[in-house]
Amino acid sequence: MIKRIIVYTLLSFIFGLLFYFLTNKFLLSLLVFLIYCAFFFVFYEIKYRNYRVTIRKTRECIQFINNFIITLSVNNSIVTTFNVLSTSFSKELKEQVNSINHLNDEEKIIYLKNYFNSSLYSVFVDLLKQFIEDGGNIINNTHLLIFDTRLIEENLNDFLVISNKKLFQFGLMWGLCFIILLITKVALGNYYLKIQLMNYYPYSLFLFFILFLVFLYFILRHYLDLNFINEELKDEKNKKQNWISWL
């Protein structure tokens, strides 16, 4: 968090300093600095935290489901399987499990639905309950679930690769725009000083900086939007009854 605070402040300062270098307007430059700070600390930080938690819990949920099914197929014991997997839990998951030590292992597995908050995990719990009641081969009972966990993970990885490329392209395009502004100031020399004296110029440049922030808002909103995971998980939830009926 401290590193992000430094980065947010530094980026905001750079934009404010750049605006001052181009206009020599201190108050407007200070306003640019404050607006960019508000953007990074209020909008981006909240979105980024949710983004990281969603990715971490989605990957953790998929890993837990796949490892549990494979381990259970070997030892055929839910208690043993849970104890084996608990040694590799993340710090957050261990804290969650430690908070419910009064429950038995089966109850802990069910309770973890609140931690993962995933329809995919709910499907896993229902299939596990059926395995406990009816027995059978856990791999055969959950092979469709395993397939879909892999599909969701692949879609997530593809989304991250594509969104990173788009974000890089966006940064490159706008970075060139700001570089052109700097080159223009240096190249025009005294003529640029005359432009600075025009009443509308600093306000026009201020609107340019705000326009950049507006476009940055939209691309980051898309970049940090992982709702497609929830949509896929909803599809899994709709499949749940069909899977159980088919079994």
> Distances in Å between the alpha carbon of 59 and those of 173, 203, 246?
32, 47, 27
* pLDDT score for 173: 94
Full-prediction pTM beyond 0.85?
no
* pLDDT score for 230: 63
pLDDT along the chain (247 residues), means of 10: 90 94 91 96 91 91 92 89 89 90 88 87 88 83 87 89 92 93 85 79 92 93 80 53 40
* pLDDT score for 241: 46
* pLDDT score for 225: 83
> Distances in Å between the alpha carbon of 203 and those of 10, 16, 36, 39, 113?
23, 14, 16, 20, 52
Report yes or no: 69 and 139 within 8 Å, Cβ to Cβ: yes
* pLDDT score for 169: 93
* pLDDT score for 235: 55
* pLDDT score for 238: 52
